[in-house]
Structure 1
């Protein structure tokens, strides 16, 4: 079988001498959604950060489209096609919505207007509020700004850390709908999500982590149907 488009394989590492990930493997293909779920403290966000180069690995590797990028710094992975949206501090609150989106394209030297229109088509509220300071928006709208700014880099991989944290169920459903649309454009989406059941419903693949290790790896549908996964991680 062909290797996944993006794979963090056998990743072991942590912070300050404390090992958090233990032989953890995460992967995603083009045009697919892969979701990392698990209990609090399972190492979900750490695994995401490791794939993006924000964690020094003591073992394992990260490969993008067959190329070993393990030693690339996070800022050097952006030109390679990776975009990362952190859970917190993911917008410039004192800048307008449009300025936030323009900041996402700071590495580009071509015409960004077409990509800007695509973001506005995906998130119509951002077109309406493009002259408003991003810090004045609702939590869900700020998340749209953060995702839109990442899309301005024209990524091949979009990484989302808890994209629905702190938003209402209605806003969560809307964000998931937009994530599905992004996948249809052929972008690989890797995300950590606290709303595990809902995330697995839209996921092509899921990774259940416990104490930094892979406990279950399967399709989203198979994980939802697994009695042990349902009992231990999805509330029955």
Structure 2
């Protein structure tokens, strides 16, 4: 078996000098795939994502991107390596316009960003309509589109999303998931943490169920949805 394009392998670690939150946890995603991390509250889902992005100490195990060991790299250095991260909250500049937010996303680039901007506007047409509006005036779903669009402006090979549908309506959730599928079809790997486990697993190539910072179940989205134990314990029957 070849290694996934991005993998956090056997990760044990926590924040600063605090206790371990992750215990021998492994999550990975292949090129152009959608991998979803689900599990109960407090299971360490967002922590696992942050560990892969370099936001907490991995005391054992390692993180590898396209075969390269990036365990010791800062989050900023990981962005330069091709990782984009969209946190759950405080993920846009509310006083800036939509277009200014997207331009801020391209801060590491020295080439022409017009084509990427056009791709983001094609993916999220509402952002084109509202490009001169302050991002803080947008609805929750539109703000999430700005946040994802801004991450795409770095031209990432991996896009990491922490609870992208938190607090949005079911209709907006479906629309965001449709856009996420479109992004994956362009060859970008998607790794996301999601509370709406059933809906997320429906679009997932790969799923990871975490419990108390450790892997409980791993499989394709379809397999996990069909697993009676997963259904009973995590999907409400």
TM-score using structure 2 length:
0.99
Instruction: For residue 8 of structure 1, report the CA deviation from its aligned partner.
Output: 0.1
- Output the aligned Cα RMSD: 0.4
SS at match of 1:106: coil
Question: Which string of whole-angstrom CA distances, capped at 9 and with x for unpartnered residues, describes residues 162-197 of structure 1?
Answer: 000000000000000000000000000000000000
SS at match of 1:18: coil
Unaligned 5+ residue runs, structure 2?
Answer: none
Residue of structure 1 in register with 2:149 after alignment: 148
Equivalenced residues, count? 236
Match of 2:90?
89
Matches within 5 A, 1:98-117: 98-117=99-118
Q: Deviations over 1:123-157 (max 9, x none)?
A: 00000000000000000000000000000000000
**TM-aligned CA deviation for residue 18 of structure 1:** 1.4
Runs of 4+ in 1 over 4 A off after TM superposition: none
- Residue 181, structure 1, aligned to residue 182, structure 2: yes
The alpha-carbon deviation at position 219 of structure 1 amounts to 0.3
Distance 1:53 1:47 in 2: 10
Unmatched 5+ stretches in structure 1: none
Deviation of 1:19 after TM superposition, in Å, equals: 1.1
Shift of 1:215: 0.2
- 1:30-49 aligned within 5 A: 30-49=31-50
Does 185-194 or 7-16 show the bigger shift?
7-16
Distance (Å, rounded) in 2 between the aligned partners of 1:234 and 1:18: 29
